[in-house]
Amino acid sequence: QVQLQESGPGLVKPSQTLSLTCTVSGGSISSGSYYWSWIRQPAGKGLEWIGRVYTTGRTNYNPSLKSRVTISLDTSKNQFSLNLSSVTAADTAVYYCARAEYTYGELGIWGQGTMVTVSS
C-alpha cells in the first residue's frame, strides 16, 4: 500500500525558501500514471492547491504561487519536493503531499501533513 510522508523544517524565516520533501513508500514514484501534488491549509481555513508534477516531470502550478514555486521529482530517492521562495507569514500553513490519479485528478492518497511556520 502506497504511503506518503512529508518532511522538512517546521520554521522558516521571512524572505527565505520553504523546502519540503515527500517520501513515497510502497510503490515507485516513476511508475504508473500519477500526479504528485502539494496542497496547503492555513489554520482554520480551507484547502489551497499548490501544484503537481507528473511522472514524466511535467508540472502545473497555482497561478497565484507560480512565480515562487518549484515542484520536482527525485526518482533515485522515490521522493518529490516543494520549494516555495520569498515566503511571508501568509505562507504559514499545514502542507500536505498527495498522489492524484491521472484520469480525473482526484487526490486519493495523502500524507499526514506537516506544519510550517514563517516567522523571524
Partner 1 sequence: DIQMTQSPSSLSASVGDRVTITCRSSQSIGTYLNWYQQNPGKAPKLLLYAASSLQSGVPSRFSGSGSGTDFTLTINSLQPEDFVTYYCQQTYSTSLTFGGGAKVEI
Query: Which residues of this chain interact with partner 1, rule CB under 8 A?
Result: 46-49, 52, 60-64, 96, 98, 100-101, 104-108, 110-113
Residue 53 amino acid letter:
V
Nearest approach in angstroms of CB 42 to partner 1 is: 12
Looking at beta carbons only, is 16 or 65 nearer to partner 1? 65
Looking at beta carbons only, is 31 or 46 nearer to partner 1? 46
- Residue 95 near residue 113 (C-beta atoms within 8 A): yes
Looking at beta carbons only, is 23 or 48 nearer to partner 1? 48
Query: HSE on the CB side for 9, CA within 13 Å?
Result: 13
Nearest approach in angstroms of CB 78 to partner 1 is: 20
Number of CB atoms found within 10 A of residue 90's CB: 8
Nearest approach in angstroms of CB 112 to partner 1 is: 6
DSSP 73: E
Q: Which among 113, 118, 117, 104 is positioned nearest to 47, based on CA atoms?
A: 113
Nearest approach in angstroms of CB 30 to partner 1 is: 21
Looking at beta carbons only, is 58 or 76 nearer to partner 1? 58
Which triple of cell numbers denotes residue 102?
491521472
User: Alpha-carbon distance 81 to 79, whole Å?
Assistant: 7
